[in-house]
Chain A
């Protein structure tokens, strides 16, 4: 298993070093610094083997986290662990930065002691960790009941929720967050498009509630033979959607999903990601980008980009940003646009065009003249034109059908829970070549 974990700053200085196994020596710390952090070339792989020692690394802002091992470990596990580690640290002290890590190094050591034992990841759920590892140190006098409660939670079946949670108002928030990814050819042909969706839930419920969650998944609806109410047709005009694949938070009973296709779970307290899914069929693309690039001689280029919004006129898209890359040898840019603001950002080599909002079924355009310095350097590989936006619907067409809460022990019923549902569609990688 994992032999050790090191955290470095961008200069390659060690901030945290925790070695779990004897086969990892102190020189491993230096080996990684020399061969990866200070390597001359760009790192070609997140896994490096130096002198029969393997290093797995991830980089967050300018901090390097590296796991070291000499064994044939499960690589998926190691990277998942590193990501989890980052998540845990973030929930304790916010952004991962050199200062934050130095300020909390005792805490980090304490955490590392708890979540990795002999290199085997143990429980890494923040909510539980926080019950007994705190920044201010554990309360000196914990009652015996509390102690055994902690341990049974850490090791228990429902390791993500502690017992005895109470709220005056039982409330839950559901966010359907979708990222639309698109890759379009300059001719307007969709090369690939998919939606990566997440369902994020904030639950403030008392006790150990049992939840059941339903969406308009084609498979489920077809199975139950439910004839859909035609009046309930969603914004995108579909009644059910085909989900390619989905993954769930560990609280969801997977075997039940496999057999009955029902999503049932006891939720963690507070915010967490219930589910991730992916769809590729019948995606309603909120925007269409039509670029037109013309090279006028060696020192001038004309660019025209039209964007068309493609959703119900009653809805409004927000935070629209179109990024048009410019060649490295650009000397000057003149931009004309009817709506929004556009600016040439020399440091980013791009024209950035921003629109606060835009209604459905509208069209808008920008044109620019780019002056170029004559240069005979190697040719410019033109990055794609990318776009950002936010729309108040789910481009995949996903709809929440129900979320039922049962708590048999406490006296509140499904009707007493206040539920909020919100749909947000955002751009993922939304690019036109």
Chain B
């Protein structure tokens, strides 16, 4: 019997005919008719008109016919809600059938009929089925709860189905457990309601781990995915979870393997430092990952995308497995392309082999693939110094092929090689110049222009070359225009006599005829530089460039950490957080947390080499050193300019261009640097003390001697219990050992235990952000209070708030997410390196216009003497620079610096035996003055 005939009825009046057949007395004919209906439904024909007739066929003992009718119902019930009610009775009856298969079928189908009226009738049967004696019915009912939740979340909560579902987690049947886990995970993912959150404690975890060994492959995936969301209490627990999950790596289902890898990758973070355990675990991870690469191409693709993430996070895992990334001729193109991006790293030992391989690929036909290969050759050169020469000659060979896109790509990477090894390979410039004509992509053109400008003195006809580009200046992309401008200025500085005309031409083109602000501003800067002080211009434009590092194509560490939590999922395939492609994902904060690692842990995070115009930021940076130093407001502005200029990640910019940062975030930078010197890229988990913020490293060294007893305001209630479903939060800020902390007291005034705490800050004026995850003893039982300290970093996203010191905090627990705001005391942001040099102080004082001076009388209730005041203030990082006595009054000159690099200078006039004194503050950033005044008063009054 073949079914294909059902697809072929296309004649008119078909519906009518079907109607007749459906109402026929003969069973066989009925069944045939229903099949025809389903076939039409599949190809997209509207057969909803037959609804009553089909539903009439539902009352049958024939399971096959029943299934067909149900299929029809699921599709059309929504369009005919009133008619659908007709089916309810049959469903309810079927739920009581003696055959478990029919009971399950009924409850499964009912869940798929998304009609409100039906869902009401569903509750009773569902409740029964969740307790059914047959595991097959129970496992179907478990999923049905998720279905119902999707239709009517409130109903599920009101009817207590969630509790029933949680009970199923201890079911004797592993498949029931797995489905219950899947349903609970989905509900807690989509529901904002706290009651729907999935509680995971040690007991549940143990149950899940036990079920893991027994359930189907799919069930194992559900369980592993749920496990990966669990935050272990301590490293021992993390370790034991890892141990019990490791055997899954040998499963033949790639989904199981990848999910297990996810649990292990997260587990390793919790276990902490590079213990022996982690090392052996890493070794165990490698073989299964390689095995995934010999599965079906689609699975391979998913595996490669994930391996890409894994290798970035833990480069050691696959360092010996280079060969598996060699491309096979017949691989689908997506696998080929992925192979090279996932490819771990070339080392001195394997470079010969890698290069030979890459050269082979560069002769392939697929354009994207070839480009990637060429780029990879460049990467090898930058990474392995010994191989640079071979790489360069390989690239030259490739340029000789004259294949357009190969040449262009080669020139882009050669530019990077020049930057990495200055004065080594310039002999090839002439070869490059031969290919000038063929370049038509902005990247390649910009790179070539950069090369010409940079080495203008060695290229005889550099002016001609650049002039030829200038002809079509306005048709070029911005990137090329900017580059051309800089290159010509460079050329002018090198050969001033011959190129004066050229430079004027380009400056006027850039400043007068262009409406691109970047281009115009840069033009003006150059122009002014050149006209006022050519020597300074030379220093600026021809400054030595920082070396570039080899880590390109890398994800930002925070994104990487987030994606690690999503291994195996779509997010890991797209390399995008789920919020980028899933609607309504904002709620789920918990999943994305890896334990925070100290000091970003990336000593090599000096990326930014991909930026095709490497010295773009140069003029601006150097500009700053020309301006009299410590120009705070200006510094900020320039800071903005800097980060705006070309790089969306100021973080990277900072480390690449150390010079100007002294004003803006020098301490952070140093801190980070020192940290990585000291600790290396070690992820520190579960130990808040060492989870220092970026500045912590520096503090640890400098702050050894200084006892920092800054003034700590008393705790205030920030979030009253009634507003937060029983959670009361009070807190304050403090500095200890030069680390800023938020000290919190959490009190559980509710009747149920709380857990799963997490915290997040909104963007704020000073970029405060939590430097580690919130460590709350979990669960917090009713009536219990917990004191928690949260180390803070100052490198978070910045946004000016009103009021300035406002900090908006989101706190989450298993119940809900709560929002509150608090005021940051400004002295929290004073830095320990706020002592200005005397001379600089004087100069700066003069430099800041008098209009920026604000005077205020402040109280001196204890009538402290100047020495006492000065000592007190110093403990809060307000440093006294000088002291004078004028007409019997003591004058203290003081300086302080904020974490974002703003300096505030102060003059304090103290009248002996007077309860007040006069405070004059001078700063470029007037916004902070009221806060600083307040801080003075607080510190002096309270200490």
Contacts and interface: CB of A to CB of B under 8 A. Distances in A.
A323 B760 CA distance: 62
B99 interface: yes
A117 B3 contact: no
Interface in B2-39: 2-4, 6-7, 35, 38-39
A272 to B, nearest CB: 10
B710 to A, nearest CB: 44
Contact of B3 (A79, A106, A157, A196): A106
A191 interface: yes
A120 B294 contact: no
B64 interface: yes
Counting chain B residues whose Cβ lies within 8 A of the other chain, the interface size class is 35 or more
B114 to A, nearest CB: 6
B150 A73 contact: no
Contact of A52 (B104, B259, B581): B581
A272 B304 CA distance: 28
Contact of A49 (B246, B360, B574): B574
B71 A151 contact: no
Given A72-B569, A102-B3, A148 B98 contact: no
B933 interface: no
B108 interface: yes
A105 B38 contact: yes
Interface string B326-362: 1011100110010000000000000001001100100
Contact of A45 (B294, B301, B356, B365): B301
B247 to A, nearest CB: 4
A155 B38 contact: no
Contact of A109 (B71, B186, B360): B71
A273 interface: yes
A15 interface: yes
Counting chain A residues whose Cβ lies within 8 A of the other chain, the interface size class is 35 or more
B152 to A, nearest CB: 12
A315 interface: no
B39 A105 contact: yes
Contacts of B175: 122-123, 154-156, 159
B122 to A, nearest CB: 14
Contacts of B255: 74, 76-81
Contact of B583 (A29, A49, A52, A117): A52
B252 A118 contact: no
B280 interface: no
Interface stretch (B214-222, B535-543, B651-659): B214-222
Contact of A157 (B39, B174, B301, B585): B174
A8 B44 CA distance: 13
Contact of B254 (A80, A110, A150): A80
B572 A75 contact: yes
A152 interface: yes
B333 A245 contact: no
Given A77-B221, A102-B7, A276 B290 contact: no
A77 B573 CA distance: 13
Contacts of A99: 4
Given A77-B221, A104-B3, A118-B147, A155 B569 contact: no
Contact of A247 (B43, B221, B251): B251
A46 interface: yes
B569 A74 contact: yes
Interface in B30-79: 35, 38-39, 42-44, 61-64, 67-68, 70-71, 75
B139 interface: yes
B570 A73 contact: yes
B85 interface: no
Q: Among B258, B330, B573, which residue has the most Cβ atoms of chain A within 10 A? A: B573
Given A118-B111, A154-B136, A255-B247, A75 B302 contact: yes
A147 B98 CA distance: 9
Interface in A34-48: 42-47
A15 B6 CA distance: 12
Nearest to B7: A102
A250 interface: yes
Given A76-B257, A80-B299, A140-B62, A254 B566 contact: no
B252 A248 contact: yes
B98 A144 contact: yes
A45 B147 contact: no
A14 to B, nearest CB: 6
Given A122-B139, A156-B173, A183-B328, 17 more contacts: A17-B42, A22-B150, A43-B334, A70-B582, A70-B583, A71-B582, A72-B578, A76-B257, A79-B299, A106-B35, A113-B70, A118-B112, A123-B216, A140-B63, A151-B134, A155-B174, A429-B328
The 7 closest A-B pairs by CB, nearest first: A245-B287, A151-B136, A77-B255, A102-B4, A76-B255, A258-B247, A254-B247
Interface of B: 2-4, 6-7, 35, 38-39, 42-44, 61-64, 67-68, 70-71, 75, 98-101, 104, 108, 111-112, 114, 134-137, 139-140, 143-144, 146-147, 150, 173-176, 179, 182, 186, 213-218, 221-222, 225, 244, 246-248, 250-259, 287-288, 290-291, 294, 296-299, 301-303, 323-324, 326, 328-330, 333-334, 337, 353, 356-357, 360, 363-365, 566, 568-574, 578, 581-583, 585
10 contacts: A80-B299, A109-B67, A113-B70, A147-B99, A151-B134, A155-B135, A248-B252, A250-B216, A381-B364, A431-B329
